[in-house]
């Protein structure tokens, strides 16, 4: 009979655990601050929009040239209020992206469900969806709601990059201790300068964009202990590659 001493965590393991705890505390603090800030902004913003709606109804009853000009200005203000609410919601998503509710499941299932959801929109824009999902993909511990947000953001961006149709591929593979997800489109592509800045908060090439979609995607993936990379070239499409550790 031999005595077996349980393996003790190494200094490196302790450092990783401490860093993870520090990041979790930092994420919680950021989410709390964001929630408070959102509350302080959302209430007066909602009041403004409600009063603009009432003013708009009053102006519609008048019907004079002067009131029609005022109506145009009111409509612009209502539109800006909606834009601000969109930015606020995007900021909240960005701030809360580091808070995970993990379940062990197949990434293939999440991709399959998302493709079923986005297929009607893809068909309307002439985009062909091509899934290539590894049947032997190992399970991963993920926050399914946040991963769905990642898929939605990348899928929506890809469709917007192919207004005249194209092909959108979702490929899963197993790579050592990770699973990989590749999202590949045949759209407009991006310059190297855009790729370099695309994960920076508030950077956007689209009018009215919040500039928080892709930074939120990266924040979600990194919170899972993974990584995301992008390859793109104008006129040749874009490829996103995501790595997530195996459970």
- Edge-to-edge strand ranges of the sheet holding 178-185: 127-133, 166-175, 178-185, 237-245, 227-233
pLDDT given at position 69: 82
Per the rule left: phi > 0, alpha: psi between -120 and 50, beta: everything else, 217 is: alpha
Per-residue pLDDT of the chain (247 residues; tens, 9 = 90+): 444 444 455 555 566 556 556 656 666 566 666 666 666 677 777 788 888 888 888 787 776 777 878 888 888 888 778 777 777 776 676 666 667 888 999 999 999 999 999 999 999 999 999 999 999 999 999 999 889 989 999 999 999 999 999 999 999 999 889 999 999 999 999 999 999 999 988 788 876 666 788 988 998 898 899 999 999 999 999 999 999 999 7
What integer pLDDT is reported at residue 88 of this predicted model?
73
Q: Does domain 12-96 have CATH number 1.20.120?
A: no
- Intrachain domains 12-96 and 103-245 with the same fold: no
**The predicted structure's pLDDT at residue 96:** 67
Angstrom distance (rounded) from CA 36 to CA 20: 24
Residue-wise DSSP of 174-203 = EETTEEEEEEEE-S----HHHHHHTTSTT-
Residue boundaries of the structural domains of the chain: 12-96, 103-245
Compute the distance between CA of residue 173 and CA of residue 134 in angstroms, rounded to an integer: 6
CATH architecture of 103-245: 2-Layer Sandwich (3.30)
Residue 229 CB neighbours (<10 A): 12
């Amino acid at each position: 009979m031999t005595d077996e001493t349980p393996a003790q965590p190494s200094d490196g393991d302790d450092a990783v655990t401490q860093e993870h705890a520090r990041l979790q505390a930092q994420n919680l603090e950021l989410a709390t601050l964001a929630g408070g800030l959102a509350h302080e902004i959302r209430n007066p913003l909602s009041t403004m929009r409600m009063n603009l709606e009432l003013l708009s109804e009053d102006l519609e009853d008048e019907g004079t040239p002067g009131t029609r000009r005022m109506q145009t200005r009111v409509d612009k203000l209502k539109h800006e209020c909606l834009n601000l609410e969109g930015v606020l919601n995007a900021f909240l998503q960005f701030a809360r992206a580091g808070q995970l509710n993990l379940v062990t499941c197949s990434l293939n299932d999440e991709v399959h469900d998302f493709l079923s959801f986005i297929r009607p929109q893809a068909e309307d824009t002439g985009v062909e969806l091509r899934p290539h999902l590894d049947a032997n993909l190992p399970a991963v511990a993920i926050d399914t709601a946040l991963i769905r947000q990642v898929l939605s953001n990348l899928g929506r961006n890809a469709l917007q990059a192919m207004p005249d149709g194209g092909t959108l591929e979702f490929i899963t593979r197993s790579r050592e201790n990770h699973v990989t997800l590749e999202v590949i489109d045949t759209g407009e592509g991006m310059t190297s300068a855009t790729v370099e800045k695309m994960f920076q908060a508030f950077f956007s090439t689209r009018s009215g964009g919040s500039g928080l979609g892709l930074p939120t995607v990266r924040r979600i993936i990194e919170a899972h202990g993974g990584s995301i990379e992008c390859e793109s070239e104008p006129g040749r499409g874009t490829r996103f590659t995501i790595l997530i550790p195996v459970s």
